[in-house]
Amino acid sequence: MAGRRHDPAAFRRSAADRQSLAPSPLQATAMVAGLLLVAGAVTVASFAVKPNKARAFDLFYGSVFLNDERAPVAVDLTNGRPTVRLVDANTQVSAAKPSDLDVVALSNATLLLNTASGEFNVVDPTGFVIKAKDGGVPLPKRSGATRSVGIAAGASAYVVQTGPDGTSVYLVGQSTVQSATGAGARVKPRAYATMSDPGSTAPGAAASANGDLWVLVGSGASRTVRQLSLPRGSDAGVKLDSADRATVGAVSSVGVTTGRAGGDAVAVAEPGEIRVFDGRTGPRTLAVKGLTGVDTILPASNQHEQLSFLFHSSLGWSLASAPVAGGLVGPIALSGVDPAAQLAVPATSNGTLFTMDIGVTGRVWQIGPRGAVRTPEGAAQYPIVKDRAGKPLEVSNFGDGYAIARGSRVIFDSPNHVQGLALFADGSHPPVQIDKSAAVSLNAAGGATGLIDSHPLKGPKGAPAPGKNTVKAPPPLPINNSVRCKGTTQLPHIPTITQATPGSRSVQLQWSYPLLDPRDCAPSTYVVSVKLISSAAPSPPAAVTVQGQDGVNLIGLYPDTRYQITVTAYLNGRGTPSTPVEVVTGPEGPPAPMEVRSATDSSGNWTITWTSCGGAAQGCVSAATWTVIPSFCDGSGLSNAPATISIAGDPTQHSFTARFPGNDSLLGRGLTFQVEGVGAKGTVGTPARDTGCSYSWSPPVARNISVAASSPPPITGQATSSTTVAVRFVGSQVHDLGGVGAQLTYQLTSGGSVVDQSGPTTATSAVLTGIRPGQQYQVALVASPPRHPEAAVTVGPVDVQPAVAAWPGLSVSATFANNPIVDGTLTVQIHGLSSADSRGERFDLTNSSLTCGGGNDVLALDRVGFDPAAPLSFPGIARATFNGPCTVTIALVQSAQGSTHPPVYGAGASPSATSAQFTIDPPALTTTPGDFSAAWSDQSTRGNPQIVVSYHGLDPLLLAFASDWSLIVSNNGGATTCGSSASKPTATITVDKACVKAGGTFTVTVSFTYFLSHPTYPVTVSGTAPQPVDPAQFSFTAAWNGTSGGTPQVQIVTTAGDPPAASLAWTETVTASTSPGIDCGSSTASPARATGSIRVGVARASCPNQAGITTWSVTISYTDPSGVSPPHTYGPIPVTGTQP
């Protein structure tokens, strides 16, 4: 624990102060035989999501280890049979019991983890525990109880240690454990992170994708989705970069899918939605609708190209999947799954999900990608041990059960049960019940507790495997050195080949010679001959003579070839051959290619060339195919490795060419290529690599590139402005520019001269400065593909919107000079701007005006093409219209007359400026009372008496600008008002007829308002008012004049005057002396004018005529409707003549 307080990344190192010793021979034998954990690179990635309690890891040779309550058990994935059990493996990490041990497969090693304490160890690629003494590497202790889980991340692993007070994460690997075996060095993880939030070891709480760790942390109702990643270019002990990607509910789960070209994809599921993080611009959110009361979400493991989750809700279990290509499948109700089942985290094989009830039933289901549920044939339930009567000997409790999938194999395991279950999703085998108790027990520290397989498999017949001894040696006999063998004629006995151990191009040969009698001579000369049995191999070497030895390393052979070898013993020239022995030389891959070179073309592709050794005729293993393996060499950070390509080999061909196609993701990237041959039987040969780093590129697609320049900000004073130039692409930036790292140069020009330049740079925008108002500018972009400036293209130029200067603050002053009588001159002076300050610009007035009388009178001011420094004069301002308190408001625009192009101040107007208030005097009043007259109208009558008022003065403005006119008629010195008018002269006033009847002298009082004057003038009315009617002007006579309709008629004749013209109301009445008080006949007709007459009918019945007695008379009277004349009666006038 030394140093942990000062360095949060420090671990406790090994308790031993010296390097651990090499394994013993027994340990080596046991470990190699039983712990082939990662002999070579582990080819299958580790489990992305931590199961509930158990964990499995892959073996290189197609095995998987299952956790078991006794010790981990290896199962052969080819047939589902158990092989070995690693006894005491838990002691390598100081785990108190096997159930605390977890094993995690890494890409080239295996992590052993104590889930209770977090202590870990690593098994290296050779099959040995790196730290073989005193347990593993302990983690710093956290307060309270903690649990730990291991998440594989390539060759490393994330160890997540979590408890109530927070979570610690450590990225560890082989080098971490190796540093713990040394003396004195502080042990540091590759990287670490400490979080105050609690984590979880439950299913779906953490996952590894693209080397990063995605973990759910927090408590209560929400969780934070946190991504931890290793900083680039960092050293051991660095703190992991942390980024919070989302906030989700407490019921949530993290899943990962692999096998996609763009890298791993991560999904976080919670009730109502799935968020997919696949390296695009942002997460995709997919709505999961129709599920209520979700309490459990399980992510599927071993997924490829799809992210599937099982949701448990009030409706039971449902499946929702998010293909990485886009969209959402589901949620689909899983009607075939018991709603009350407690499901294990599903494992995916061949697109199908496999899971089981880890409650009390142990039922097994497989779920299709569209939600079809069925029970695997022959595997409806997890197997349990029963007695002969069929009674279960084990408790039906599968709470520690889990499922894993590797390829087409699916394994179900419950560590507290004796058996497991293997399914073959490809249908190659029926389900297999795994009897874990049948595994051979091996001690993880090297001691074998059992070396005999209780279920041995029969090996194949045929030739021995290369590298294995083929002959058992007979027991040797002593040699008698006293026998003289020189000159012997003894025929040699048959020698026996005791060992023939082949390599790929040699055979280590040993033989023995039988001495059957003490007098036998021992040969000193042997001849080893080789015969070729296989075809398509070069001829074997000639016979080899061996002197005084009983063995030879026979060289010059050809790989993977069957030979027949004979050893002939010679005594004095006589020889006896041995029984021939057939051997097969070991496999060998094709030799390394030569002259490997790579080059790129302008289409973004690579061309790789190399030469070959040849084929069997040249003594070389020919390549059936050539594999070209690209890798990045440009130092641009971690990327998914490009796909390999293969081309067919030809032993007769010396030179080869392969074309590696580029794409947008590779444009501009640097690749180096390793070429290796693969023999006809799949043996990979020695690779060779090109010596340089070739960068792809293509010419920029000028038609896909455009530039746009922002409007320069307004300029104040003598400063300059700037524009931001942005580049837009029709396709992707990499494609349109010709590759990653393409260089962009931005230029600002004016009149053909470069004003400012930015670049070369990779930025897609730049700020260019030096822009002045009143000038034209353009921007252009030079796009140069990476490392190929000769292929640069120019985009543009495009115009920059002209910069404008901010208008200076303007002020204005105004004066007014009166001219005689009615007008005057306005003078306006503008301050704050001149043509000299504006590069000779001329200006126009806009929205400018003279405002007087509180804003009621406004005169637009207009002037063009002037210098604001010169005063502006506006003569002829009518004071009759514009007078009183006044102000002048001006605003300027640049004039079309003599302005620059573009204008200095742009197309807009300046801010307006208003002068201080000044006064314009109105015209003076020159009118007198004599300028007005009043007279009785010649149109007046007694019924309509009128007076006409007129103006005869010389002031032309009076009638135009005077207001509030009042014309009042009165008589008798103004005592009585007889009529009025509010009209200006000439005006006609109707006079009250009572005033006319009363008579007297009439006066008109004239008053009005003239600007600031309010005069009142009395004017005497001239002429005569209408007079009463004179009754003496009329005279009449009456006489009988025949009948009309039998009625006698009296004819009345006017003898003087014109009664109709007098506008009077007339009445004519006929009376008889013999009929007093009776109206004998009457008329209301107006008497005719002189010499005219009217007729009045007389009623005989009312007034009978008594001849000689009755006298007749007519009475004529009138009244004046106007009331001016008094009424009058004429008569009685006697009627002359005789009544008809």
Q: What pLDDT score was predicted for residue 512?
A: 92
User: Which among 1076, 1137, 1139 has a CA at the least distance from the CA of 1105?
Assistant: 1139
pLDDT at residue 21 greater than cutoff 80: no
Average pLDDT for residues 829-856, to the nearest whole number?
87
Q: What pLDDT score was predicted for residue 484?
A: 58
Tokens of 442: 């091996």
Tokens of 812: 């204005």
Average pLDDT for residues 758-783, to the nearest whole number?
91
| Residue 1132 within any structural domain of the chain | yes
Residues 606 and 752 in one domain: no
pLDDT: is 1127 or 141 the higher one? 1127
Q: What pLDDT score was predicted for residue 1134?
A: 95
Q: What pLDDT score was predicted for residue 769?
A: 93
The DSSP secondary-structure symbol of 1010 reads B
Inter-CA distances, 693 with 415, 519, 595, 699, 738, Å: 51, 73, 15, 20, 18
Cβ atoms of 379 and 411 within 8 Å: the answer is no
**How many Å apart are CA 540 and CA 506, to the nearest integer?**
11
pLDDT: is 1129 or 16 the higher one? 1129
Residues 407 and 544 in one domain: no
Cβ atoms of 1103 and 1072 within 8 Å: the answer is yes
CATH of the domain at 946: 2.60.40
Residues 327 and 214 in one domain: yes
| Residue 446 within any structural domain of the chain | no
Tokens of 678: 């693969």
Confidence of residue 154 (pLDDT cuts 50, 70, 90): confident
| Residue 1 within any structural domain of the chain | no
Q: What is the pLDDT of residues 334-346, one digit of tens each?
A: 999 999 999 999 9
Q: What is the pLDDT of residues 467-522, one digit of tens each?
A: 344 434 344 334 344 445 778 888 999 999 999 999 989 999 999 998 877 778 88
Reduced to 3 states, what is the DSSP secondary structure of residue 1077? Answer: coil
Inter-CA distances, 257 with 122, 346, 406, Å: 26, 13, 14
Report the range of poorest mean pLDDT among 93-107, 472-486, 684-698, 854-868: 472-486
| Residue 607 within any structural domain of the chain | yes
Confidence of residue 880 (pLDDT cuts 50, 70, 90): confident
- Using a 10 angstrom Cβ sphere, with 0-12 exposed, 13-18 middle and 19 or more buried, the burial of residue 548 is exposed
- The DSSP line for 892-931 is EEE-SSS--SS-TT-SSPPPPEEPPPEEEPPPPP---GGG
Residues 336 and 428 in one domain: yes
pLDDT at residue 29 greater than cutoff 80: no
Q: What is the pLDDT of residues 355-366, one digit of tens each?
A: 999 988 999 999
> Of 858, 893, 920, which closes a domain?
920
Q: What pLDDT score was predicted for residue 479?
A: 36
| Residue 38 within any structural domain of the chain | yes
User: Which among 270, 276, 367 has a CA at the least distance from the CA of 328?
Assistant: 276
| Residue 14 within any structural domain of the chain | no
Q: What is the pLDDT of residues 99-109, one digit of tens each?
A: 888 888 776 67
Tokens of 381: 């339930």
User: Which among 773, 825, 821 has a CA at the least distance from the CA of 800?
Assistant: 773
Query: Interior CA angle at 427 toward 426 and 432, to 5°?
Result: 110
Q: What pLDDT score was predicted for residue 401?
A: 92
Q: What pLDDT score was predicted for residue 186?
A: 65
> Of 584, 607, 627, which closes a domain?
584
Average pLDDT for residues 806-833, to the nearest whole number?
90
pLDDT at residue 132 greater than cutoff 70: yes
Q: What pLDDT score was predicted for residue 383?
A: 93
Tell me, yes or no, if the pTM score tops 0.85: no
Query: Interior CA angle at 897 toward 894 and 898, to 5°?
Result: 85
Q: Provide the residue count of the chain.
A: 1140
Tokens of 454: 């209780």
pLDDT at residue 58 greater than cutoff 50: no
pLDDT at residue 12 greater than cutoff 70: no
Average pLDDT for residues 65-85, to the nearest whole number?
85
Average pLDDT for residues 1028-1034, to the nearest whole number?
89
Q: Name every residue whose Cβ is closer than 8 Å to that of residue 700 and which is 6 or more positions away in sequence.
A: 736, 737, 738, 742, 783, 784, 785, 791, 792, 793
Average pLDDT for residues 992-1020, to the nearest whole number?
88
Cβ atoms of 1078 and 1095 within 8 Å: the answer is no
> Of 872, 898, 920, which closes a domain?
920
Residues 405 and 312 in one domain: yes
Q: What pLDDT score was predicted for residue 44?
A: 32
pLDDT at residue 39 greater than cutoff 70: no
pLDDT at residue 239 greater than cutoff 60: yes
pLDDT at residue 462 greater than cutoff 60: no
Q: What pLDDT score was predicted for residue 537?
A: 83
Tokens of 614: 């040849």
Q: What pLDDT score was predicted for residue 487?
A: 80
| Residue 451 within any structural domain of the chain | no
Cα radius of gyration rounded to whole Å, the chain: 63
CATH of the domain at 421: 2.130.10
Q: What pLDDT score was predicted for residue 444?
A: 56
Q: What pLDDT score was predicted for residue 57?
A: 37
Question: Residue 1055's domain spans which residues?
Answer: 1031-1136
User: Which among 623, 615, 565 has a CA at the least distance from the CA of 589?
Assistant: 623
pLDDT at residue 1105 greater than cutoff 60: yes
pLDDT at residue 1056 greater than cutoff 50: yes
pLDDT at residue 35 greater than cutoff 50: no
Average pLDDT for residues 830-839, to the nearest whole number?
86
Q: What is the pLDDT of residues 161-209, one digit of tens each?
A: 998 889 999 999 887 887 777 554 468 888 999 999 898 888 889 999 8
Q: What pLDDT score was predicted for residue 456?
A: 37
Reduced to 3 states, what is the DSSP secondary structure of residue 998? Answer: helix
Residues 176 and 306 in one domain: yes
Tokens of 204: 């779906």
Residues 203 and 236 in one domain: yes
Q: What pLDDT score was predicted for residue 848?
A: 95
Helix ranges (DSSP H) in 212-366? none
Q: What is the pLDDT of residues 300-332, one digit of tens each?
A: 998 888 899 999 999 999 999 998 888 899 899
pLDDT at residue 1125 greater than cutoff 60: yes
Report the range of poorest mean pLDDT among 640-654, 753-767, 940-954: 640-654
pLDDT at residue 974 greater than cutoff 80: no
Confidence of residue 1039 (pLDDT cuts 50, 70, 90): very high
Mean of per-residue pLDDT scores for the chain: 84
User: Which among 129, 125, 123, 112 has a CA at the least distance from the CA of 60?
Assistant: 125
Residues 660 and 735 in one domain: no
Q: What pLDDT score was predicted for residue 15?
A: 42
| Residue 944 within any structural domain of the chain | yes
**How many Å apart are CA 758 and CA 749, to the nearest integer?**
12
Total domains, the chain: 7
Residues 623 and 770 in one domain: no
Q: What is the pLDDT of residues 251-268, one digit of tens each?
A: 999 999 975 555 789 999
- The DSSP line for 70-134 is SS-EEEETTTTEEEEEEETGGGGGT-SSGGGEEEEE-SSSEEEEETTT--EEEE-TTS-BSS-SS
Residues 1017 and 1037 in one domain: no
CATH of the domain at 528: 2.60.40.10
Residues 906 and 1039 in one domain: no
Residues 224 and 330 in one domain: yes
User: Which among 252, 304, 431 has a CA at the least distance from the CA of 48?
Assistant: 304
Confidence of residue 226 (pLDDT cuts 50, 70, 90): very high
Residue recorded with tokens 């008094």: 1126
